[in-house]
């Protein structure tokens, strides 16, 4: 097993130290042999992988770029937060006009008893609405693009993960009703041509000497990804790189609503973390450490060196932007540790008082001066196995394919299908290896690595409407 398989850890905003010590291969093996694997979940993923052959996604002949063919739906909880439905009306009206233009069955609002019910699984929800539990999607029964509206305590992340394998799923949850209205206004402006950004993409990645995590992500993820995208989009998009010494907090601020704001931003670094019950956990978890950070030996305060929601000022202009972050807690945090340590196998330790969406993407999407359209990132921690194949090689196919699809104009919910397909396929392989755990047998290194990759791929999530796409002039070049 690779010694550097799991080197990416969050930084604790209270102490400045790594939130979790890097796990040794023996500790990883102990994790994988505990109660960490949900067999029913793996079986569902295996069924999906086997049933979708010989073709993928929706029934044949449907164009993922056209909502009148894919459909669009919104899922509310049984009792949604007061005022949220009304605040989203401009967005709902737009999606209805688009999706139901030819067939009214392709627009759905799931609310009340038709919405998410407490304890719903994917299978329960789709069966209640007359759709198949696996295989290709028939959008006349349940639309392909689905927007979940609600916090992950009320509508759990697990439901989102399960639905996302078969459908294109995103989530929004904000702290105030007006934030929902702001986001709806930004999406409508982008969809109706009121926002048109230059075809510019930026890649921002910290690479701090003596910090293995950021050196790995810079060398094996950000640098090869921006090179691959630059080659693919040559003469179509302008590509800028802010790597290593250029990945400063000042430059990140310029990219997030400042003069250098691109249509697409990719970033990789440590995500900040804290302990359950901490006063600043909800406002700071998932904030992005910048190159200015003195490094892992630093024992002073970290606040000057990370970019948090509160750093995104009122003057920022993010309208039309889509971002993808590789960082611990970049999208959100579950209530319980999903990669629990050796002595917590029997009962996962609680890492937050409740599951939540990270503050930075919420601030980005709901900005009153024009918000981002979507943020893609990890719920829980992010691991190097998602981009590193071995001691000295990259495996960035999922990232590369997703980014290329985004720049080619596909909706974000379809572009990120690469990660969901990878999760399902890894799950199928993991299920086949489950007999290793019987009778106290020691699992192989292959099982341990596959277990980690599976749940890392699952946790890559979309915050925002899955039907949004790049708000650029399709006929323009860089």
Q: Who's near 87: CB < 8 A, 6+ residues apart?
A: 177, 178, 180, 181, 184
What pLDDT was estimated at residue 346? Answer: 47
Euclidean distance between CA atoms 123 and 406, whole angstroms: 29
Please name the residues in contact with 65: beta carbons below 8 A apart, sequence gap of 6 or more: 409, 410, 411, 469
CA–CA dist 154, 123 (Å, integer): 18
- CA gap 24, 6 in Å, rounded: 8
How far is it, in rounded angstroms, from Cα 476 to Cα 478?
7
User: What pLDDT score does 50 carry?
Assistant: 56
CATH code of the domain made up of 11-26+197-450: 3.40.50
Q: What is the pLDDT of residue 49?
A: 60
Question: 319 vs 169, 206, 374, CA distance in Å?
Answer: 21, 25, 10
3-state secondary structure the chain: CCCCCCCCCCEECCCCCECCCCCCHHHHHHHHCCCCCCHHHHHHHHHHHHHCCCCCCECCCCCCCCHHHHCEEEEEECCCCCCHHHHCHHHHHHHHHHHCCCCHHHEEEECHHHCECCCCCHHHHHHHCCCCCCCCECCCCCCCEEEEECCCCCCCHHHHHHHHHHCEEEEECCCCHHHHHHHHHHHHHHHCCCCCECCEEEEEECCCCCCHHHHHHHHHHHHHHHHHHHHHCCCCCEEEEEEHHHCCHHHHHHHCCCCCCCCEEEEECCEEECCCCCCCHHHHCCCEECCCCCCCCCCCCCHHHEECHHHCCCCCCCCCCEEEEECCCCCEECCECCCCCHHHCCCCCECCCCCEECHHHHHHHCCCCCCCCEEEEEECCCCHHHCEEECCEECCHHHHHHHHHHHCCCCHHHHCHHHHHHHHHHHHHHHHCHHHHHHHCCCCHHHHHHHHHHHHHHCEEEEECCCCCCCECCCCCC
| Distance in angstroms (rounded) separating the CA atoms of residues 456 and 339 | 9
Q: Quote the pLDDT of residue 430.
A: 78
CATH topology agreement for domains 11-26+197-450 and 40-191: yes
| Residues in contact with 336: Cβ distance below 8 Å, sequence separation at least 6, in sequence order | 348, 349, 350, 351
Q: How is the chain split into domains, by residue range?
A: 11-26+197-450, 40-191
| pLDDT on residue 337 | 83
Q: 40-191 in CATH: which number?
A: 3.40.50
Tell me, what's the pLDDT at 21?
46
Cβ neighbours of 327 (radius 10 Å): 26
Asked whether 263 and 323 are in contact (CB, 8 A), the reply is: no
Q: What is the pLDDT along the chain (478 residues), one digit of tens a residue?
A: 233 344 355 677 666 655 554 444 444 544 554 444 566 666 666 665 655 544 446 656 789 999 999 999 999 999 999 999 999 999 999 999 999 999 999 999 999 999 999 999 999 999 999 987 666 889 999 999 999 999 999 999 999 999 998 999 999 999 999 999 999 999 999 999 999 999 999 999 999 999 999 999 999 999 999 999 999 999 999 999 999 999 999 999 999 999 999 999 999 999 999 888 888 999 999 999 999 999 999 988 899 999 999 999 999 999 999 999 999 999 999 998 887 533 334 456 889 999 999 999 999 999 999 999 999 999 999 888 889 877 777 889 999 999 999 999 999 999 999 898 888 888 877 777 777 666 566 667 777 777 778 888 889 999 999 999 999 987 666 5
CB 133 within 8 A of CB 123: yes
pLDDT at 53: 47
- Measured from the Cβ of residue 333, the count of other Cβ atoms closer than 10 Å reads 30
């Amino acid at each position: 097993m690779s010694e550097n398989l799991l080197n990416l850890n969050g930084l604790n905003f209270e102490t400045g130290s790594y939130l979790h010590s890097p796990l040794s291969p023996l500790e990883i093996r102990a994790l994988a042999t505990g109660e960490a694997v949900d067999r029913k979940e793996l079986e569902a993923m295996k069924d999906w992988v086997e049933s979708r052959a010989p073709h993928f996604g929706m029934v044949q002949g449907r164009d993922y770029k056209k909502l009148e063919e894919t459909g669009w739906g919104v899922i509310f909880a049984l009792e949604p937060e007061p005022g949220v439905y009304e605040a989203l009306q401009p967005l709902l009206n737009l999606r209805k006009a688009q999706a139901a233009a030819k067939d009214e069955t392709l627009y759905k609002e799931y609310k009340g008893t038709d919405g998410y019910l407490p304890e719903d699984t994917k299978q329960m929800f789709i069966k209640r609405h007359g759709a198949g539990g696996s295989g290709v999607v028939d959008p006349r029964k349940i639309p392909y693009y689905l927007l979940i509206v609600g916090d992950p305590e009320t509508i759990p992340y697990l439901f989102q993960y399960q639905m996302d394998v078969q459908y294109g799923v995103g989530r929004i949850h904000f702290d105030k009703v007006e934030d929902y209205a702001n986001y709806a206004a930004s999406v409508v402006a982008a969809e109706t041509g009121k926002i048109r950004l230059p075809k510019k993409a930026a890649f921002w990645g910290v690479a701090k000497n003596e910090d293995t995590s950021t050196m790995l992500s810079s060398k094996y993820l950000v640098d090869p990804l921006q090179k691959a995208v630059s080659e693919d989009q040559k003469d179509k998009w302008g590509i800028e790189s802010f790597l290593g010494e250029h990945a400063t907090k000042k430059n990140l601020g310029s990219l997030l609503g400042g003069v250098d704001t691109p249509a697409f931003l990719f970033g990789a670094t440590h995500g900040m973390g804290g302990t359950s019950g901490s006063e600043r956990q909800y406002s700071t978890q998932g904030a992005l450490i910048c190159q200015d950070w003195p490094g892992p030996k630093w024992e002073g305060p970290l606040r000057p060196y990370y970019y948090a929601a509160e750093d995104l000022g009122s003057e920022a202009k993010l309208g039309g932007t889509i971002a993808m972050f590789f960082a611990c807690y970049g999208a959100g945090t579950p209530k319980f540790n999903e990669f629990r340590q050796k002595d917590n196998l029997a009962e996962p330790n609680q890492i937050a008082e409740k599951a939540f969406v990270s503050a930075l993407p919420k601030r980005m999407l709901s900005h009153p001066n024009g918000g981002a359209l979507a943020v893609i990132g990890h719920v829980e921690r992010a691991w190097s196995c998602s981009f590193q194949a071995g001691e000295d090689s990259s495996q960035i196919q999922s990232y590369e394919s997703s980014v290329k699809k985004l720049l080619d104009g596909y909706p974000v919910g379809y572009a990120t299908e690469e990660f969901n397909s990878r999760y399902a396929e890894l799950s199928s392989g993991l299920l086949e290896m489950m007999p290793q755990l019987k009778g106290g047998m020691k699992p192989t290194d292959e099982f341990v690595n596959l277990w980690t990759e599976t749940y890392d791929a699952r946790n890559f999530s979309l915050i925002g409407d899955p039907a949004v796409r790049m708000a650029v002039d399709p006929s323009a070049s860089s």
